[in-house]
Amino acid sequence: MVDSQQCPHDSRVSCTDCVLNSICLPIALEAEDIVKLDEIVARGRPLQKGDHLYRQEDEFSSIYAVRSGSMKSYTVTDDGQELVTGFYFPGEILGMDGIGRNRHASSAKAMETVSVCEIPFDNLGALSQKIPSLQQHCFQLMSQEIIDDRQLLALLSKCQAEERVATFLLSVSARKARNRLSATHFRLPMSRADMGNYLGLTVETISRVLSKFQKSKLLAVDNKEISIADICALKELSALRFE
């Protein structure tokens, strides 16, 4: 059990024993209900970098929780442009945008080796019917996603490049910290291009902003490794708060 807690890739670990259960779907559940949730969760083999978990327009059947690694979601617009809509770290849920139309509204791709838990949605709906706190939690997760999107919307429509990048780095930092990893030293799993795409900026702008932050000693950049040196200054740059 202790062993499996230390190996999040391990597909045998149950929700009850998962290190992530304090931030994942089980957050709202009693021990006995977690067992019920556990029964419907499927844990497949890990995805390799570049693999898709699902594709836009695929029939929707499940939502997914990241157990280890990281994923990105993106949509392709009518005119063929790719739009990165989100990044997902361990304990985070993706795929909820497929519920409304019964097909996935985005594609999800592994940015590195990833293991996920699959939660069949028919079953989750039925289980939510029986466990009020699970239904409530599903509502909350979706509502939170709306709030997060709104926050991003604010970032894109009101803030300029430096603010956007600072806010993004703080968001990643907070999510690493929530997973009990360092808040100041971490690896960005996405390319500069994906980061720029997500933030509505070009690769060049991302690169310039990071260089500028480095010059002003806010942080050190070593390719994808980021060391935040002055998190307070970064927070001042970022008008929006992240918890």
Partner DNA sequence: AACAATACTTGATATAAATCAATTCGTAGA
Partner DNA sequence: TCTACGAATTGATTTATATCAAGTATTGTT
**Residues within the interface to DNA (CB under 7 A):** 49, 160-162, 191-193, 200-208, 210-211, 221, 223-224
- Residue 101 or 212: the one with the smaller Cβ distance to a copy of itself is 101
CA proximity to 210, closest of 164, 144, 158: 164
Q: How far is the CB of 147 from DNA (least distance, A)?
A: 24
- Residue 142 or 229: the one with the smaller Cβ distance to DNA is 229
Using CB under 8 A as the binding rule, the residues of this chain from 195 to 214 that contact a copy of itself are: 197, 199-200
Q: How far is the CB of 157 from a copy of itself (least distance, A)?
A: 3
Using CB under 8 A as the binding rule, the residues of this chain from 115 to 174 that contact a copy of itself are: 125-126, 128-129, 132, 135-136, 138-147, 149-150, 152-154, 156-158
Interface segment toward a copy of itself; rule CB under 8 A; list 72-80, 109-117, 184-192, 208-216: 72-80
Q: How far is the CB of 173 from DNA (least distance, A)?
A: 18
7 is a contact residue toward a copy of itself (CB under 8 A): no
Task: Indicate the SS3 state at residue 175.
Answer: helix
Separation between Cα atoms, residue 176 and residue 144, nearest integer Å: 18
Instruction: Indicate the DSSP class of residue 60.
Output: P
Q: Exposure of 147 by Cβ count < 10 A (0-12 exposed, 13-18 middle, 19+ buried)?
A: exposed
| Long-range interactions of 132-135: CB distance < 8 A, separation 24+ | 133/28, 133/29, 133/30, 133/33, 134/25, 134/28, 134/29, 134/33, 134/37
- Residue 142 or 181: the one with the smaller Cβ distance to a copy of itself is 142
| Residue 219 Cα to chain centre, angstroms | 23
Residue 161's binding partner out of a copy of itself, DNA, none, with CB under 5 to 8 Å set by partner kind: DNA
- Residue 74 or 186: the one with the smaller Cβ distance to a copy of itself is 74
**Contact at 8 Å (CB) between 77 and 83?**
yes
Q: How far is the CB of 155 from DNA (least distance, A)?
A: 11
**Angle (nearest 5°) at CA 55 between 73 and 115:** 65
Task: Give the binding-site size for a copy of itself (rule: CB under 8 A).
Answer: 46
Residue 6's binding partner out of a copy of itself, DNA, none, with CB under 5 to 8 Å set by partner kind: none
Residue 77's binding partner out of DNA, a copy of itself, none, with CB under 5 to 8 Å set by partner kind: a copy of itself
Place of tokens 């770290």: 89
Strands 225-228 and 62-68: unpaired
Separation between Cα atoms, residue 188 and residue 206, nearest integer Å: 13
Neighbouring-strand partners of residue 75:
83
Residues at the site binding a copy of itself, with contacts judged by CB under 8 A? 75, 77-79, 81, 83, 85, 96-101, 105-106, 125-126, 128-129, 132, 135-136, 138-147, 149-150, 152-154, 156-158, 197, 199-200, 239-241
